Amino acid sequence: MTKTTKGESFTPYQKFIVAIIAILQFTVVLDFMVLSPLGAQLLEELNINTGQFGLVVSAYAFSAGAAGLLTAGFADKFDRKKLLLFFYCGFIIGTFLCAIAPNYEFLLMARIVTGLFGGVIASISFAIISDIFSLQQRGRVMGFVQMSFAASQVLGIPIGLYLANNAGWHSPFFMIVGLSLLIGLVIVIKLKPVNEHLKIKFDKSPFQHLIKIFRNTGYIKAFGATVLLATGGFMLMPFASAFSVNNLGLKLTDLPMLYMCTGIFSMMVGPIAGKLSDKLGKMKVFFAGSILTMTIVLIYCNLSATPFWLVLLLNILLFAGVLTRIVPAQALMTAVPEPEDRGAFMSVNSSIQQISGGIASAVAGLIVIQTEGKAIENYDVLGYLVVASMLITIVMMNKINQHILHKEKAGI
């Protein structure tokens, strides 16, 4: 399968690849993100505390991390289409278990199952993108794929919240299962085998291949940056809805409009960030996005009762900054591994991201406290920790960018 070159338009099939991966990621992202706006409802209906809710979020992340490590050794030994379908089927089963969960313990188990399969899907998708598109095009591709992040807010979360408010918190998961079944069918019928990497001579056992990944100093630096990249979202997002309702004074009925409006603007930001990354340089765009995100985090996490319009404005700016970081960062990460290591690298990278995020979520659940009046305390502490991690990440991503530029000049 031939990669595109700089300035070349995508073929119809390549446009399909971008679209199907974006839609697939939409379901996976929505499955994770829907827990955050459901947080205020789950805390009350399941009669759990912030620590237990943080564990529900982190359970997905920890199991996803374990699955990534287990998958890494043989990720490059199979047709990526078959691997994608296997894990997507498991993800659908896990989400269905969430939909029928009768209590906290069952929901926790269901999140573990979902994470075991869903957490690997992004790494397989990014490996497919790396196989098909050149580095000069990946910023643009990632920009469109990241629209799934925003689309989950525009369409998924508002609809999910509407269903949850009218038919119970289980209903959003049933919605995700139905949509995922349709997407899986399209993948079976339309996606061609992705097996060019199998032509590369590969004699190592899965365990030896995994060891090789961890012995590569360039890969280790990238994994270190991934640890810090995961900190922000996993720390702030799980308690965002509870903070908005109990501290900022929003109503539960305000949340669908908040997420939908934020998502509409975010859908525009993703493709723009991708095009700018390819045109101006991925590191420059990442730096600008980091500065914007840090500024808004410091403001947002220190708010008290706030008018809806101001909360909405800050959310739009926050997610614009987050996307302007994610798009170039993911494009840069795809350039780190060698072709024969892409599947393994992406699996390990996804695993590290999920485990780091799980730890961050669990730590956040211990830092924040819900008072008897239901207010969330110490949310500002989370903000300071997120900003500190972003400052360090800028330095680490710059080193990765310099390494990639050196490889390009040397023709490696």
Q: Which residues contact 208 (CB under 8 A, 6 or more apart)?
A: none
Taking residues 241-245, report their average pLDDT.
Answer: 85
CA–CA separation, 304 and 14 (whole Å):
47
pLDDT for 55 equals 81
Residue 5 lies in a domain: no
CA–CA separation, 392 and 399 (whole Å):
11
User: Does residue 210 register a pLDDT over 80?
Assistant: no
Residue whose C-alpha is closest to residue 369's, from 239, 237, 176, 220: 239
| Token pair in block for residue 392 | 């360090």
pLDDT digits (tens, 9 = 90+) for 350-390: 778 777 877 887 788 888 887 777 788 888 999 999 999 99
Q: How many residues does the chain have?
A: 412
Phi, psi of 369 (to 5 degrees): -135, 135
CA–CA separation, 155 and 264 (whole Å):
9
Residue 2 lies in a domain: no
| Token pair in block for residue 203 | 């004699």
Residue 259 lies in a domain: yes
Taking residues 155-163, report their average pLDDT.
Answer: 73
Residue 7 lies in a domain: no
CA–CA separation, 162 and 172 (whole Å):
9
Taking residues 27-48, report their average pLDDT.
Answer: 78
For strands 376-377 and 369-370, give the pairing: antiparallel
- Strand, coil or helix: what is 282? helix
Residue 165 belongs to domain with CATH number: 1.20.1250.20
CA–CA separation, 29 and 24 (whole Å):
9
Residue whose C-alpha is closest to residue 289's, from 157, 143, 151: 143
Residue 92 is part of which domain span? Answer: 12-195+203-410
Look-up of token digits 């500002």: 380
CA 351 to chain centre: 12
CA–CA separation, 21 and 146 (whole Å):
10
pLDDT for 4 equals 47
Residue 208 lies in a domain: yes
Taking residues 130-154, report their average pLDDT.
Answer: 75
Q: Are 27 and 114 in contact (CB under 8 A)?
A: no
Residue whose C-alpha is closest to residue 337's, from 194, 209, 206: 209
Q: Are 343 and 124 in contact (CB under 8 A)?
A: yes
Task: Give helix then strand counts, H and E, for the chain.
Answer: 17, 2
Q: Are 23 and 148 in contact (CB under 8 A)?
A: yes
Lowest pLDDT segment from 225-229, 236-240, 308-312, 377-381: 236-240
Other Cβ atoms less than 10 A from the Cβ of 128: the count is 23
Is the pLDDT higher at 50 or at 345?
A: 345
User: Does residue 148 register a pLDDT over 80?
Assistant: no
Q: Which residues contact 388 (CB under 8 A, 6 or more apart)?
A: none
Residue whose C-alpha is closest to residue 296's, from 319, 277, 279: 319
Give CA angle at 15 (178, 4), nearest 5°. Answer: 140
Q: Are 139 and 275 in contact (CB under 8 A)?
A: yes
CA-CA distances (angstroms) from residue 123 to 65, 71, 99, 109?
11, 10, 25, 23
Residue 3 lies in a domain: no
Residue 4 lies in a domain: no
Taking residues 248-256, report their average pLDDT.
Answer: 84
Domain total of the chain: 1
pLDDT-derived band at 202, boundaries 50, 70, 90: low
CA–CA separation, 207 and 229 (whole Å):
27
Lowest pLDDT segment from 50-59, 166-175, 278-287: 50-59
| Token pair in block for residue 230 | 């995961």
pLDDT digits (tens, 9 = 90+) for 95-125: 999 989 888 889 999 999 998 898 788 878 8
pLDDT digits (tens, 9 = 90+) for 279-294: 888 899 999 999 999 9
CA–CA separation, 28 and 115 (whole Å):
10
Taking residues 130-142, report their average pLDDT.
Answer: 77
Lowest pLDDT segment from 112-116, 191-195, 209-213, 297-301: 209-213
Q: Residue 169 has what DSSP assignment?
A: T
In percent, how much of the chain has pLDDT > 70? 90
Give Rg (Cα) of the chain: 20
Residue 128 lies in a domain: yes
